[in-house]
Amino acid sequence: MLKHPTSMHADLMLILITTAIAALVLLIMALLLASIVRRVLNDRMYGKLDALRHVYGRRLSQALELEGIAVQKEAFLAKPGSLAWQAVEDVLFAVVSEGKFADKGRTLFQKLGYMAFYEEQLAGRNVLARASAIDKLGRMRCTASTPKLIPLLEEGDPEILSVTVRALSRIGTKEALAAIIGRLPDILGRSLVTRKAMETALLNFGETAIPYLIGHHWERADPWITSCILETLSHLAPDARSVSLAIEHLQSPNAEVRSKALKVLGRADANIPRHLDELVLPLLEDPIWFVRLQAAKSAGALVLKATARPLGKLLFDKNWHVRRQAALALTGFGHTAIDIFLEALSASDGYAKESICEEIEKAGFSDRLIANLGGVDGPLRTKSRDILKIMKGLHFSTPLIAYLEKGDDERIKQEIRCFLTDERTP
């Protein structure tokens, strides 16, 4: 912006700045035009697409109700990539996901050439286009695509591999499941991304996966694979075979496997073997904290009475997650837990005592203790009062104050008043 020593210098600067401004103006105009053109095209495209979806949707629902799909197939034929093609695809995806006419939707996908079209794209080079085609084949749930997708499990690209696993899990055929399980070691070992995709995708197979997951010879498998299998089983409906497999792995040298086996057992409900207490007991003393945590969780979920005392010991575990879990598990044991809590709360470990108090309060066990104050069972009343007194001493007195404000039983209120004002409370 200064005066230049020579006119040549000034001219050069002038040309440079003017050129830059002109370039910018052109760029702005180009962006503006591109925005407008894109919006016009999009509006037109989506307007047409919506109309086509509506037309095809109505036509398809009529056809499906009349069961005349084979005859009316021509009414849905469209050029690949065209708007009509996309509209029919969207409509069919909705049909497949709704369930009632899912089979017919899948057949139509096949007959109208969608499956063949996307299968062709599997051989392309563009990762995004391939992944998108794999995903669509999965969403179509056409069992006939399984053989085309299975070879992609050998792919090196984690993205392609993850999408393939997911697509196969959506199709949900036994071949797909067998293929995934057969390649499990490779897929799990490939990368963290594929492992996560696998653990998520296996759940899509639902209960049909159980026999495959259990039937495979996992005895010599990598612990990571076993833990993945057990984790999947723990999210599926409880099954006697899952429980057996979990019991087999309770003694595994790998902590992750032991923990997952316990997780499966924790959901066992009606299929609990009689001797389960004996199996879980040693794991409450496991050297690895997350195994103890899972053991406490499972013992609490199954209310394994024999584990009550060992759970009491875990109230003083060095890991706070374990301490909390043990306290929470014990709150489900009813009166059995009262002695254990009382013992624990008489100890000197302040941290542990606070955890116990918090879990007693959160689980609503404190309400049970307060109710016991008005009961006829003398020893139970005394113990409950002692626990509540200790809790009050540790500043966990809110349930007592709340009862005083809103409770009904005057006798209980009187009792609470007595020890709330008692200076000798520990």
Q: Is 70 in the site for other proteins (CB under 8 A)?
A: no
DSSP 8-state secondary structure symbol assigned to residue 81? T
Rounded to whole angstroms, the Cα distance separating 76 from 87 reads: 10
Question: How near is the Cβ of 240 to other proteins at its closest, in Å?
Answer: 22
| Amino acid identity at 67 | E
Complex with other proteins: residue 104 or 419, whichever CB lies closer: 419
> Footprint of other proteins on residues 30-69 (CB under 8 A)?
31-32, 34-36, 38-39, 42
Cα end-to-end distance, the chain, whole Å: 82
Site for other proteins in 185-224 (CB under 8 A): 191-193, 196-197, 199-201, 203-204
- Collect all residues with Cβ–Cβ distance below 8 Å to 270 and sequence separation of at least 6: 238
Contact window for other proteins (CB under 8 A) among 112-120, 129-137, 285-293, 295-303: 129-137
Q: Which is nearer to other proteins, 131 or 280 (CB)?
A: 131
> Shortest approach of other proteins to residue 86 CB, angstroms?
13
Report d(CA 312, CA 407) in Å as an integer: 31
Report, in Å, the least distance between residue 306 CB and other proteins: 28
CB of 406 to other proteins, least distance (A): 9
Which residue in 81, 99, 123, 128 binds other proteins (CB under 8 A)?
Answer: 128
Do 331 and 369 touch, CB atoms closer than 8 A? no
Q: Which is nearer to other proteins, 34 or 347 (CB)?
A: 34
Closer to other proteins by Cβ: residue 222 or 358: 358
Q: Find the binding residues for other proteins in span 339-358 (CB under 8 A).
A: 354-355, 357-358
Displacement of CA 388 from its chain's centroid (Å): 38
69 vs 122, beta carbon nearer other proteins: 122
**Residue closer to other proteins (CB basis): 47 or 282:** 47
x-or-dash string of contact with other proteins, 361-390, rule CB under 8 A? xx-x--------------------------
Using the rule CB under 8 A, which residue among 9, 10, 11, 426 binds other proteins?
A: 10
Side chain identity at 40, as an amino acid letter?
Answer: V
User: Which of 316/380 has CB closer to other proteins?
Assistant: 316
Single out the residue of 86, 107, 110, 132 in contact with other proteins (rule: CB under 8 A).
132
Asked if 77 touches other proteins (CB under 8 A), the answer is: no
Nearest C-alpha neighbor of 365 from the set 391, 347, 343, 401: 391
| 135 in contact with other proteins (CB under 8 A) | yes
Reduced to 3 states (helix: H, G, I; strand: E, B; else coil), residue 331 is helix
**Pseudo-torsion of CA 113, 119, 124, 127, nearest 10°?**
110
Residue 57's nearest CA partner among 33, 90, 91 is: 91
CB 358, CB 391: distance < 8 Å: no
| Span of 56-64, 228-236, 330-338, 378-386 interacting with other proteins by CB under 8 A | 228-236
- Using the minimum distance from each CB to other proteins, give the nearer residue, 1 or 123: 1
- Residue with smaller CB distance to other proteins, 234 or 384: 234
Q: Is 335 in the site for other proteins (CB under 8 A)?
A: no
At 257 the three-state DSSP class reads helix
User: Is residue 21 involved in binding other proteins (CB under 8 A)?
Assistant: yes
Angle, CA of 240, 169 and 194, to the nearest 5°: 100
User: Of residues 25, 41, 71, 77, which one binds other proteins by CB under 8 A?
Assistant: 25
Contact residues for 143 (Cβ-Cβ < 8 A; gap 6+): 106, 171, 173
What are the structure tokens assigned to 4, written together? 């230049």
> Residues touching other proteins: how many (CB under 8 A)?
58
Element (H, E) at 323: helix 320-331
Query: Count of CB atoms within 10 A of residue 319's CB?
Result: 14
Q: Are 254 and 226 in contact (CB under 8 A)?
A: yes
What is each CA distance from 60 to 71, 82, 94, 138, 243, in whole angstroms? 12, 18, 11, 21, 46
Beta carbons within 10 angstroms of residue 144's beta carbon: 17
- Residue 240 tokens read as 């006697």
Q: 150 or 198, CB closer to other proteins?
A: 198
Residues numbered 137 to 176 that lie near other proteins (CB under 8 A) are 158, 162-163, 166
Interacting residue with other proteins among 231, 239, 386, 415 (CB under 8 A): 231
| Residue numbers at the binding site for other proteins (CB under 8 A) | 1-4, 10, 13-14, 17-18, 20-21, 24-25, 27-28, 31-32, 34-36, 38-39, 42, 128, 131-132, 134-136, 158, 162-163, 166, 191-193, 196-197, 199-201, 203-204, 231, 234-235, 354-355, 357-358, 361-362, 364, 395-398, 402
